[in-house]
Amino acid sequence: MPRRAESAQIPVEIPPSGIIGDLTLPSGAAALVLFAHGSGSSRFSSRNRYVAGVLQAAGLGTLLLDLLTPGEESIDERTTHLRFDIPLLAGRVVEATEWLTRNDETKGFEIGYFGASTGAAAALVAAAKLPAVVGAIVSRGGRPDLAGPALPRVKAPTLLLVGSRDYQVIELNETALSQLSCEKKLEIVPHATHLFEEPGTLEEVARLAAQWLQRYLSNRPVDRPANL
């Protein structure tokens, strides 16, 4: 793929599973945020696309990714079990991350993760497997508790964003926070429920996410481990 002078959305298919994503590289970007969706969502999530647009405006590349193949999506629509298969989802995040480190357009980029719902757990498990590659993580209304024993092995600075009215998920995030040994923060977004549908709450999520990711991703090319 030739370098684009302007920000443009590029459809990509990532081997070997064939998962599909939308890659956007603003001109001059050298850091990229992979979006891990969960709980029946997809790369077309209006909430995550809004956040991705804010990150792109801040000069960060984005990869909005479907962690399930179209065939798996059809199965999950009937059974709803694959969206909770954290090892499967985390494996797909690792697969996409390793593809980014090999792809000519992105192999010098620093990489961060933005995870929502069960996608947050998948992102944390993947980050624990790739500590030299992942530079920062943001979870929006996520289930980081589902990352389980991977949590203490996460090295990337991690921001957990939860709505103030999402009471059960606040408790689950507090539990996960206590198990993280990296730099970490739990931010409660005022007046927000689980989906951040209240006026101004998604904008606050995007602002906090951009601030965190810009802080920990230097937006300069870095060398990758030789095995990637």
Enumerate the domain spans of the chain: 9-216
State the CATH architecture for 9-216: 3-Layer(aba) Sandwich (3.40)
CA atoms within 13 A on the CB side of 209: 34
Q: Looking at residue 6, what is its pLDDT?
A: 53
Residue of 137 and 73 predicted with greater confidence? 137
CA angle 144, 131, 85 (to 5 degrees): 40
Q: Looking at residue 193, what is its pLDDT?
A: 96
Q: In what order do the strands lie in the sheet with 134-140?
A: 9-14, 19-24, 61-65, 31-36, 110-116, 134-140, 158-163, 184-189
The arithmetic mean of pLDDT across residues 115-139, rounded, is: 96
Separation CA 140–CA 100 (nearest Å): 23
**With bands split at pLDDT 50, 70 and 90, how would you rate the model's confidence at 40?**
low
The pLDDT tens digits of the residues spanning 68-88 come to 887 787 776 787 777 788 999
CB atoms within 10 A of CB 54: 17
- First and final C-alpha spacing in the chain: 20
Residue of 109 and 227 predicted with greater confidence? 109
The arithmetic mean of pLDDT across residues 49-56, rounded, is: 95
pTM recorded for the entire structure: 0.90
For the cut 50, the answer to whether the pLDDT of residue 224 exceeds it is: no
How high does pLDDT run on average in the chain? 89
For 159, the token pair is 């921001």
Q: Looking at residue 37, what is its pLDDT?
A: 83
Q: Looking at residue 76, what is its pLDDT?
A: 65
CA distances from 130 to 19, 39, 134 (A): 20, 23, 6
